[in-house]
Structure formats: C-alpha cells, structure tokens
Amino acid sequence: MDTVTIKTVFAAALLGAAFFMNLNTSDSAVATDFGMNVLSDNPYQTEVFRVTGHASIASSTSGGNITVNGVAGNEVKVEMFVRQRGRNLSPSDTDLRDFEITIEQDGNAITASARRKSSAGGWFGGSSSQSISFVIHAPENSDTDLRTSGGNVSVSSLIGAQKMRTSGGNIAISDISGSTEANTSGGNIRVNNHEGGLNIQTSGGNLSIVNQAGEVTARTSGGRINLEGVAGKISARTSGGSITAAITGASELIDLQTSGGNIDASLPAGTGMSLNVRGSRVSSDLDGLKGTVSSGKIEGTVGDGSVEVNIRTSGGSVRLKQN
C-alpha cells in the first residue's frame, strides 16, 4: 500500500489560547442538533486524500467543533475553519504561527489536529478569541477518534468504531453502525439511529437515544435520560433526573436507576421478565405479572423471567406500561 503524507505546520505568534467557539452565531453555518454549527462555507484550508480500504480518522482541537460525515466513495476531505468573533477567517485575515496544525495521511489513517504552541494560553484555553474547527467528509466505512476540550462533536452515516470526547460541548450521533463511545463533561448527548454497542456518558447534561439496537450503557450525573425505540441489553442511570424509556426489545438486562426523579418505562410485550422495582410509588399495567405488588415495590415475574429488570428511584415514582 502506498503511503502519502501531507503535513502542514504553523507555529508562534497569536496571543493567548483558543476561546470556546460561539455556538449561537450563524455566519456561514448550518444549524444542527443542540444548536451546533457545522461550518459549511469559506474553509481556511482544505485537503483531500484518497484511501484504499477502511479509513481511520483522528481529529483533535482545543476550542472548536469537530464534525465527521460519512459519504460515498474513497476520498477523505478535510476542511479546517478558523473562526473569530462570529465570523470565518481566511489566510488573508490572519496567520496561525502560534498554532501547530497537522493534516496528514499515513496509508488509510488520516489525522487532523490543531494545537496552540504558546505557553501563554496552553491547550485548554486562554485570551484569544480564535477557534479552529474541522469538518471531515469520510468514506462510510471509517473509524473515528475525536477530541475537543471546548467544542461540540458530531458524527453521522458511518460504519465502524467511533470514539469521541469533549470537555465542554454537546455530542450528536446519527446513522451509525458499529461500536460507539461518547463522553462529555458538560454537555448533552443525542443519538439517532444506531446499531451496535453504545456507551455514552455526561457529567452535567441530558441523554437521548432514539432507535438503537444493541447493548446500551448510558450515564449522567445531573440530567434526564430519554430512550425511545431501544432494543438490547440496557443500563441507564442518572443521579439527578428522570428517565423515560420506550423499550421495544430486551436481552439479559433492563437496568434503569435514578436518585432524584421519576421513571416511566414501557416494556416489550411477549418478553419474559424477572422484575425488581422500587420507588416512592409504583404502578404497573403489565399483563401476566405474578408476584408481590405494593405501593412502593414490585417483585415478580412475567412469562419465563428470562430478562432481569431492575428499576429503582430513591426520590420519585415508577410507572410500568406494556408496548
């Protein structure tokens, strides 16, 4: 396999470090989930690479957004955007001598990263109002590893293993087949149309999963969880919010827990379940339930009891329905 490497490096001269991108501006942008901006016009720099197999995309930036979209074909198009005070910048507007920008190819691996070299601001922020974002159009068969300290992450229409992390932004995931890990310290995570293992975590936001087939682990310390059209082994827990779950299929386990909210769960008809349910008040419309049902707990089975159902809230009520 031929190896092609294209590397662009800028170093030394802007003040401070990258400021978190303003998510409310609309200049040269298209709004997406959670109000995120996908910058679609006037890239500062564009590189195009050709791959010959399953692609691997690695991208990192300190203050901007990262978007990866799956497209037909065997080309990877990397668009880099430099943004300041609500507008896109061009090379004629500014230089990036204080940044190290790497956009390169090594076989089927593509890297796109932006790093401030100045010690005045460091990697995680500072006084500069500039941010660097990447929009990457990659073949549908692609893996990703995406990291930003201050922006949003969006991935769509990909087949493969996806991994993403942001310290201060939201994450949007759509039309993915494969395993996905997503983590944000301060934002929301939304998933639409996912097949495969899914592990999402946030310390301070809400979680939403719509149309998922496969094992699910969802964790938030301070937000709500919404599950809709979810099938598989399911574990969803929050310390401070409510849980709404419409579960269409289950294997092995349904685990829903919150310390401070209500749980409203719709469970799949025709599935054998072994139920252990606790709450300040509990109600059930499940057909064929055998066991102990009281105002604060349910212990019993439906059918052969093959799926373990563990539903608990310390400070709210539980309502069980059948779909």
At residue 269, the pLDDT reads 92
Asked if the model's pLDDT at residue 24 lies above 70, the reply is: no
pLDDT (mean) for 141-156: 96
Residue 3 amino acid letter? T
Q: Is the pTM of this model over 0.95?
A: no
Summary mean pLDDT of the chain: 86
Spans of all domains in the chain: 1-151
At residue 128, the pLDDT reads 59
pLDDT (mean) for 212-222: 96
Asked if 23 contacts 153 with a C-beta cutoff of 8 angstroms, the reply is no
Higher-pLDDT residue of 89 and 36 is: 89
pLDDT (mean) for 230-250: 96
Question: In this structure, what are the phi and psi dihedrals at residue 179, rounded to the nearest 5 degrees?
Answer: -85, 140
For residue 9, what are the CA distances in angstroms to 63, 95, 229, 234?
Answer: 18, 12, 46, 45
Asked if the model's pLDDT at residue 227 lies above 50, the reply is: yes
Neighbours of 79 (CB within 10 A): 22
pLDDT (mean) for 261-277: 96
Under the banding of pLDDT at 50, 70 and 90, the label for residue 185 is: very high
Q: What is the token pair recorded at 6? A: 């294209």
Query: Residue-wise over 1-11: b if at least 16 C-beta within 10 A, else e?
Result: eeeeeeeeebe
Calpha distance 26→41 (Å, rounded): 11
Calpha distance 184→166 (Å, rounded): 5
Under the banding of pLDDT at 50, 70 and 90, the label for residue 30 is: very low
Residue with tokens 């590189």: 47
